[in-house]
Amino acid sequence: MTSMRGAATSTSPMADILADESRSVDAVEHCLARIDERDDTIKAWAYLDPELALAQAAARDSERRRSPLHGIPFGLKDIIETGDQPTAYGSDLWEGHRPAADAEVVRRLRRDGAVIMGKTTTTEFATYRPAETRNPHNTDHTPGGSSSGSAAAVADGQVPLALGTQTAGSVLRPGSFCGVFTLKPTYGRWPFDGVLPVALTFDTVGAFARHPAWLGAIDESLSTAGDFPPVTTVLPALNTLRVGVLRPPWADRATPAAAALLEEFVAGLAGFVSDTIDVHVPADLADLDDAHTLLMAAEASAALAGRLRGRPEGSPSAQLTSFLESGREAPASSIQHARTVLRRSRSVTDRAFDDVDLLVTLAASGEAPEIGSGTGDPVFNKFASVSGCPAVGLPAGRGEHGMPLGIQLVAPPHADQSLVRIATCLTDRAGLTAKLGVQEGDKDDR
């Protein structure tokens, strides 16, 4: 079983429970105090019941520890269903909705003793209309989407761990914008039952944390059903690792600061890995972004139809309506072309892993945009989303406006645990924790 001891290094209540040294009630009280202090500004929570959270924590403190996650507070993106808390899917149409049961990922977290603090904000139906959530590093900027609240709450020290979902870039991108660690696991590795489907060809539950070692504990919990261990692919040791640097046709969409960060990161790898090799993505995959967006719209138009039908108390936003119409009205030839592009992308990924063990690229195109300018460009995340490969996001620097920038590591399917191990080694040995840029006063909770 993954050990979390040593991942947190201070005497704060949050750090202590992450190191198996404190009560769950202390950690929850610490979270609630931080939320009370900050969340009128950050607005990361769609639902929070302090009494329910404290009751869960007290129950965990009375039990034998079940796992490394025992007693640890979690935030859940508000498209992940909970039987004891509302799930509104980021939509006014579903305000107050109470699901009949927990999503499977929630059931597994509870099985392993986690405390479900509450529901974090999301864009409308995990698509495009932003939530009111602000980036803790600069509240004039977005935290990203669609897992807005999960990224912001972890970055601001309001909760140590959170779940989100990714269909395009909704875990890795907000993680980069908010300066926290993220894992988008292998497609299908974590169960999606009880989570709002948007486009099941890509939909994946993912995680946010303040140190990458915690991502391994989450994967261990969510990828394990009963007595059945998850499928495992093992990567070589760090010093024998061959790393491929993705050189995609969308590289020009990175800001100069982000592009420079990637080159700096790759140069820094020389002291830790066996080799770095450029991996050029063919020019004909420049259509990958549009192809993914079209298929996402087509699948969402079917997946969300039932959620929108027969809700007399309102209507979805014009932005969502237009997006779903584009999917419904797409010509068959356009859908076929999009699927062809996706198949081509997956074959390119497979061939790349014949020559390298790991791929590196940006986790986002740059710093978080200002509020009102959208939730950011997911183009650098779509390669992993389309391939179904696991990807870890590492906060690795700051841009020209002082906001976080992130790096993305992509591994072959089911190398999730090895990927987290490598991310942890790079973080601890290469000093990435010094570049996290977390809120002053919260550094003791890393």
Q: Which helix (DSSP H) or strand (DSSP E) does residue 340 occupy? A: helix 332-355
For the segment 298-318, what is each residue's pLDDT rounded down to a tens digit?
A: 999 999 999 998 676 778 999
* β-strand partners of 276: 243
What structural domains and CATH numbers belong to the chain? Answer: 13-280+343-445 (3.90.1300.10)
pLDDT at 436: 41
* Tokens 């495992």, residue located: 232
Other Cβ atoms less than 10 A from the Cβ of 372: the count is: 8
pLDDT at 432: 54
Q: Does residue 123 register a pLDDT over 60?
A: yes
For the segment 19-33, what is each residue's pLDDT rounded down to a tens digit?
A: 666 799 999 999 999
* Amino acid code (one letter) for 319: Q
> Could you tell me what percent of the chain has a pLDDT over 70?
91
Residue 252's pLDDT band, with cuts at 50, 70 and 90, is very high
Q: Are 285 and 249 in contact (CB under 8 A)?
A: yes
pLDDT at 8: 40
Q: Does residue 290 register a pLDDT over 80?
A: yes
Closest to 162 in 3D by CA, of 111, 202, 203, 122: 122
Q: Does residue 128 register a pLDDT over 90?
A: yes
* β-strand partners of 73: 115
Q: Does residue 14 register a pLDDT over 80?
A: no
pLDDT at 19: 65
Query: Which of these ranges, 15-24, 114-123, 132-141, has the smallest mean pLDDT?
Result: 15-24
Q: Does residue 54 register a pLDDT over 80?
A: yes
For the segment 322-371, what is each residue's pLDDT rounded down to a tens digit?
A: 999 999 999 999 999 999 999 999 999 999 999 999 999 999 999 999 99
Q: Does residue 262 register a pLDDT over 90?
A: yes
Helices 288-303 + 332-355 axis angle, to 10? 120
pLDDT at 441: 37
E runs forming strands in 369-446 = 391-398, 404-410
Q: Does residue 9 register a pLDDT over 70?
A: no
Q: Are 240 and 201 in contact (CB under 8 A)?
A: no
Residue 356 CA: distances (Å) to CA of 10, 155, 352, 443: 38, 32, 6, 35
pLDDT at 227: 83
| Rounded average pLDDT over 410-439 | 79
d(CA 176, CA 151): 9
Residue 297: both structure tokens together: 């719209």
Q: Are 32 and 53 in contact (CB under 8 A)?
A: yes
For the segment 263-281, what is each residue's pLDDT rounded down to a tens digit?
A: 999 999 988 999 999 999 9
CB within 8 Å of 176: residues ≥ 6 apart: 144, 182, 362, 363, 364, 393, 395, 404, 405, 406, 408
The half-sphere exposure of 325 on its side-chain side, counting CA atoms within 13 A, is 7
Return the sign of the alpha-carbon dihedral for residues 409, 415, 416, 417.
Answer: negative
The whole model's pTM is what? 0.94
